[in-house]
Amino acid sequence: MKTLAAVLREAGRPTPYATSQPLEIEELEVGPVGPGEVLVKISHAGICHSDLSVINGTRLRGLPLVMGHEASGVIVETGSNVRRLNEGDHVVFSFVPPCGSCPPCIAGRPALCRPGNEANGAGTLLSGSRRFTDAGGQALNHHSGVSAFSQYVVAAEESLIVVDAGLPLQEAALFGCAVITGVGAVFNSAQARPGSSLAVFGLGGVGLSAIMGARAAGANPVIAVDIVESKLQLAKTLGATHIVNPTETDAVEAIRDITGGGADTVVESVGNEKVLAQAYAATGRGGTTVAVGLPHPDRQFTVPAISLVADERTVRGSYMGSAVPKRDVPKYIAMYQAGQLPVDKLLTGTLGLDAINTGMDRLADGSAVRQMVDLSLPLSGQ
């Protein structure tokens, strides 16, 4: 069938993207639906910093690429051998499709699934297939098995989590990346406890989710760090007990003062190795620095070796919140519905597919947190 989709054919175009238009809206053919695959009508797709990183060349992905990796939708067709999903199910996407049987999957670490990450790197579905074709007959790459900036997508059953149909789909989409990554970093990777001190550098959709998770975990103090004042104010309403703006104050000193020597947990959700170094410096003895942001693959991060031993320090990477999506997405949705994770506060605007380049500009300049592309909106120009 036909679908309109946002396609990236060249990375590294100059900003503003509203002018350089790295994402072009094209009519593609999507299908067929293979064994173990389903056709999903996308409802909402979030604009995340990882999308920007692909567009600006920080995160290398094979092109051309149908972009988008945080989304919700409704199943409209199921292929053969699909066991868990039915037409009409409301679903959220997991941006790693866990195969369920490789060593990391068996060990309960599906974010590290080997075939899932290999497929993502190759731009295919878990089966190795590509299901988008352009007007010239060329196959296009899938983005992390999701490719949600498209009205319809074919996805592997493993990429999908069925969610409560009573949850608005705009809110549901947030759980696929921002929430699972940020809340998972706090619960799964850092194992934050009541009364432990926690700081977060970078208050986008991911970092603000970490702030909400910290509050839900009972951490105290919860220190929010960002260079944009409006993000700091939002963090306060979501549970931060202290806010720090590094353009005005030395953030490392401020965190060390507030916590009496350094925080038990410091989360880096910017994606900058220099900020990760600050996060490490702001971590206390016996504490854990959690790296969540994705820097350019060439960038290095060094620490004084002695501090690992003498201070019993831990540096822990957290991919997709070290989550088990089928366990954690329903859990975090239930917490949202119980008022414990007010993730709807992350939403800062809805846009049509053809305004997507402008949306990327707004994320890059800090004026938006989580914008949602609503695939049901008519195309109306920027």
Q: What are the residues binding ligand APR (CB under 6 A)?
A: 48-50, 53, 181, 201-207, 225-228, 231, 246, 269-271, 275, 292-294, 363, 366
Cα–Cα distance between 44 and 174 in angstroms, integer? Answer: 9
Q: Which does 226 bind (CB under 5 to 8 A by kind): ligand APR, Zn ion, none?
A: ligand APR
Q: Least distance in Å: CB of 279 to ligand APR?
A: 9
Q: Which does 355 bind (CB under 5 to 8 A by kind): Zn ion, ligand APR, none?
A: none
Q: Are 39 and 162 in contact (CB under 8 A)?
A: no
Instruction: Scan residues 213-242 and list those touching Zn ion (CB under 5 A).
Output: none
CB-nearer residue toward ligand APR: 292 or 351? 292
Cα–Cα distance between 346 and 203 in angstroms, integer? Answer: 10
Q: Please identify, among the stretches 116-124, 133-141, 176-184, 324-332, the one whose residues bind Zn ion according to the rule CB under 5 A.
A: 176-184
Cα–Cα distance between 259 and 253 in angstroms, integer? Answer: 10
Q: Which does 366 bind (CB under 5 to 8 A by kind): Zn ion, ligand APR, none?
A: ligand APR
Q: Does 369 bind Zn ion (CB under 5 A)?
A: no
Q: How far is CA 336 from the centre of its chain?
A: 17
Task: Name which of 4, 48, 39 is nearest 359 in CA terms.
Answer: 48
Cα–Cα distance between 112 and 363 in angstroms, integer? Answer: 27
Cα–Cα distance between 59 and 90 in angstroms, integer? Answer: 30
Q: Does 177 bind Zn ion (CB under 5 A)?
A: yes
Task: Name which of 289, 331, 337, 62 is nearest 183 in CA terms.
Answer: 331
Q: Which residue is nearest to Zn ion (CB)?
A: 48
CB-nearer residue toward ligand APR: 142 or 370? 370
Cα–Cα distance between 111 and 104 in angstroms, integer? Answer: 8
Q: Are 88 and 42 in contact (CB under 8 A)?
A: no
CB-nearer residue toward ligand APR: 4 or 228? 228
Q: Are 265 and 188 in contact (CB under 8 A)?
A: no
Parallel, antiparallel, or unpaired for β 71-78 and 65-66? Answer: unpaired
CB-nearer residue toward ligand APR: 110 or 207? 207
CA Rg value for the chain:
20
Q: Least distance in Å: CB of 331 to ligand APR?
A: 20
Cα–Cα distance between 279 and 221 in angstroms, integer? Answer: 16
Q: Which does 246 bind (CB under 5 to 8 A by kind): Zn ion, ligand APR, none?
A: ligand APR
Q: Please identify, among the stretches 50-58, 155-163, 225-233, 308-316, the one whose residues bind Zn ion according to the rule CB under 5 A.
A: 50-58
Please give the angle made by the CA atoms of 315, 316 and 319, to the nearest 5 degrees. 150
CB-nearer residue toward ligand APR: 23 or 275? 275
CB-nearer residue toward ligand APR: 145 or 205? 205
CB-nearer residue toward ligand APR: 176 or 207? 207
Q: Least distance in Å: CB of 51 to Zn ion?
A: 7
- Using the 8-state DSSP alphabet, how is residue 188 labeled? I
Q: Least distance in Å: CB of 170 to ligand APR?
A: 17
Instruction: Scan residues 20-49 and list those touching Zn ion (CB under 5 A).
Output: 48
Rule CB under 5 A: which residues touch Zn ion? 48, 50, 177
